[in-house]
Structure 1
Amino acid sequence: MRTTAQRAALLAAGLPLLIAASPSPSPSPSPSPSVSSGPSVAGTAKPVTDAGTSFLTAIALGSGQSADVAASTGDYLYWAFGAAEGQTTTVDVTVTLPPSADRHGPQSWSVELFDGLRRRQSCTSGPQDATAETAAGTLALRCSLRQIRSWAEPWSGDPLPGTYYVRLTAGQVPQNDLGLAARVQLRLTSKGGAGNAQPEDGELRAPLVPPVNAGSPAAAAAPAATATAAPSDRAVAPVEEETHWYSAPFQGRNTRWFWTLGGGILAALAGVLGYCLTRHPRHPRRAPGGPGAAL
C-alpha cells in the first residue's frame, strides 16, 4: 500500500507530462473580409463602356455613374439620364485626343444637353465648347443643367422632371483627322432634391435683393444737417390735403351723382347745339310769276 508521500511524489513527476500532452487551444481564425454581393453604392457603379449614336440608342447612366468609351473622331455620342424635381446635374467630359503626330490641326468639341422633347437646354456654368490645339493631349468640357422645376409656363423652356440626353460631338475637325481613335470619359454629378425645388405657386424661397434697412439715416450725413434734423424717433406728420369750396360736393358718395348729372347736361347742350348748326331754314314756295303776275 502506497503511502501518502509516495502518491505526492508520483503526482509531481507526472504533472509536467500531462501538461505537455494536453492539446493546445487552436487560435481563433481571423475574420475574413466579407464580399458584398449587393448592389453597388451610388457613385461607385461600374463605368459604362458604350455610347449611343442617336437619341433612340442613347445609353442610360445613373446619378454619379461615369462612362469610359473608346470612340472615333467625328462620331456623335449620346447618353441618357433621369433628373428629378429640385436636382441640378453637372456633366463633366474629358476627351483624350489622338496623338499629336497624327493630327493635322486643332479640334473643337462640344457637349449639349436636351430634354425629353429634344429641346436644347442652356448650360449655367462650364466650358460647353472648347478647342484643342494640335499639341494638346486632352480636352475638358462641362455643362451644368438648370435646376429641375416641377412646373413651367407653356412658352418657357424650363427643365422639367424626366429624361435628359447628353450629346458629345466634334464640331470643327480637319478632314484628315476624321476617324482617328479618341477616348471619352464622362461623369454625372447631381445635387439637391425635392426640398430645394420652387413651390407650385411660384413664390421665391428668398428675396432676390436683400433689404437695405429702408428709412434709416445715411451713415455719412453732414454734422450740421444732423444737428438740425428732427429726432429719428418722431414720426413725420402727414401733409394735409388742401381743400376748396368745391371739394366737398365732388368727394365721397356724391361724386358719382354729380358727374352723372353734369354729363347729362353737357350731352343735352351738345345735342341742341348740333341741331341748331345743322338745321336749314324752310321757306314757303311761291307761285310761278309772283303775286303781281298777269291773269
Structure 2
Amino acid sequence: MRIVKALGAAVLALGWAVSPAAADSPSPSPSDDGAAPVQAGTSFRTAAEFDEGVTATADASAGDYLYWSFPADAGRRPTVRATVKLPEAHAAETWQIDVYDGLRRRQACQYGAQTRTAAADAASVELACTLRTVRAWSEPWANDPLPGTYYIRLTAVGLPTSDLGLPVSAEVRVESKEIGGAAAVDGALAEPLVPGTAVASEETEQDAAVLSSIEPEDGWTSGWWSDRWVWTAVGGALAALAGVGGYALTRGSGRPTGV
C-alpha cells in the first residue's frame, strides 16, 4: 500500500514539474525605453540592432538593402515579420526577407511567406519567416541555427526600373517561442556566435572587440539545463520505486523450514 502511494506521489510530482517547463513562455513585451531603431543598416557590419518584441522601422528607397540584427538564444524558435509600405503608384514588386546567423549562413525558413509579390498599386506587402529551433550545439558540418546574433536582410528582387528609388517604409519585428527540452542537445557552445574582431593586447593576449552589443534580456543560457533533466530525475525515481515494489511483491512471505 505504501508503495502504491509513493508511486502516485511521484506521478503527481512529474505533472507539477513538467507542466510549467513544457508550456510556451510568452514573447517579450515591446520595449518602453524608446530603443527601437528608426533606420536600418546597409550591410552586415552596420545592421541596426534591436531586441525581440520591439518593432524596428526604417524609411528607404526601393532597391536598397536593409539590414537589422537581433539576439536568439538556444531553445527558442524565432519568427521574423516584416511589413513594407509602398508608394501610391508603383508596378508589381517582389520583396524578400532573408535571415542569417552569426556566421552569416543563410538560414532556411521552416514556414512563412519569405518572398511575396505586391500587385501594382498595392498599399503594402507583408513577409514572415519562422526559423528552425536554435540549438545549443551542432556538428561543424551542419547548418543548424546556433545561439548568437542573427541578421535580417529586406530588399526587393527583380524590381522594375521604373520603381527604382521610390520611397518606401518598412517595419520589422521578431518574436520567439520557447521550445524547451524537446530541442535540447547534449552539448553547448563555449560562447554565442556574436561578431567580433580579435585584437592583441599589451600582454600579447587576445581580447575581443565585440561588434555587436545585443543579447537576450536574461543573458545567454549555458545550454546545459532543460526540462529533460526533470523527466530524467522523475523517471529514475519511478524506476527505483517500481523495483522496490516488485521485490516486495515477489519475495516469499514464509520462513524457510529447517531439516
- TM over 0.5: same fold? yes
Deviation digits for residues 35-68 of structure 1, max 9, x if unmatched?
xxxxxx8424433201000000001110111112
Query: 1:103-182 maps to which residues of 2 (within 5 A)?
Result: 103=90, 105-182=91-168
Q: Indicate the residue corresponding to 2:72 in structure 1.
A: 83
Instruction: Between the two structures, name the one with larger relative contact order (CA 8 Å, sep ≥ 6).
Output: 2
Quote how far apart the aligned CAs of 1:193 are: 6.0
Q: Indicate the residue corresponding to 2:56 in structure 1.
A: 67
Quote how far apart the aligned CAs of 1:196 are: 5.1
Determine if contact 1:93/1:140 at 8 Å carries over to the other structure: yes
Deviation digits for residues 68-125 of structure 1, max 9, x if unmatched?
211111100000011111011101111111112xx2x210100000011111000011
Determine if contact 1:85/1:193 at 8 Å carries over to the other structure: no
Query: 1:134-283 maps to which residues of 2 (within 5 A)?
Result: 134-192=120-178, 195=181, 197-200=183-186
RMSD, aligned CA: 1.9
Determine if contact 2:135/2:147 at 8 Å carries over to the other structure: yes
Q: Indicate the residue corresponding to 1:275 in structure 2.
A: none
Alignment identity in percent?
45
Alignment partner for residue 30 of structure 2, among 31, 43, 48? Answer: 43
1:177 counterpart letter in structure 2: D
Report the Cα distance in structure 2 between the residues aligned to 1:199 and 1:189, rounded to whole angstroms. 23
Report the Cα distance in structure 2 between the residues aligned to 1:161 and 1:62, rounded to whole angstroms. 14
Q: Indicate the residue corresponding to 1:225 in structure 2.
A: none
Alignment partner for residue 54 of structure 1, among 30, 43, 47? Answer: 43
Report the Cα distance in structure 2 between the residues aligned to 1:116 and 1:67, rounded to whole angstroms. 20
Structure 2: 5+ residue stretches without partners: 1-27, 188-227, 229-259
Determine if contact 2:40/2:57 at 8 Å carries over to the other structure: no
Larger strand share, 1 or 2: 2
Report the Cα distance in structure 2 between the residues aligned to 1:162 and 1:193, rounded to whole angstroms. 17
1:96 counterpart letter in structure 2: K
| Residue 92 in structure 1 maps to residue 78 in structure 2 | no
Q: Indicate the residue corresponding to 1:264 in structure 2.
A: none
Report the Cα distance in structure 2 between the residues aligned to 1:89 and 1:98, rounded to whole angstroms. 30
2:110 counterpart letter in structure 1: T
Bigger radius of gyration, 1 or 2?
1
1:168 counterpart letter in structure 2: L
Instruction: For residue 164 of structure 1, give the secondary structure of its aligned residue in structure 2.
Output: strand
Determine if contact 1:64/1:187 at 8 Å carries over to the other structure: yes
Instruction: For residue 53 of structure 1, give the secondary structure of its aligned residue in structure 2.
Output: coil
Report the Cα distance in structure 1 between the residues aligned to 2:111 and 2:49, rounded to whole angstroms. 23
Report the Cα distance in structure 1 between the residues aligned to 2:81 and 2:104, rounded to whole angstroms. 21
Determine if contact 1:84/1:193 at 8 Å carries over to the other structure: no
Give the TM-score normalised by structure 1. Answer: 0.51
**How many residue pairs were aligned?**
160
Report the Cα distance in structure 2 between the residues aligned to 1:63 and 1:192, rounded to whole angstroms. 13
Quote how far apart the aligned CAs of 1:140 are: 0.6
Determine if contact 2:93/2:156 at 8 Å carries over to the other structure: yes
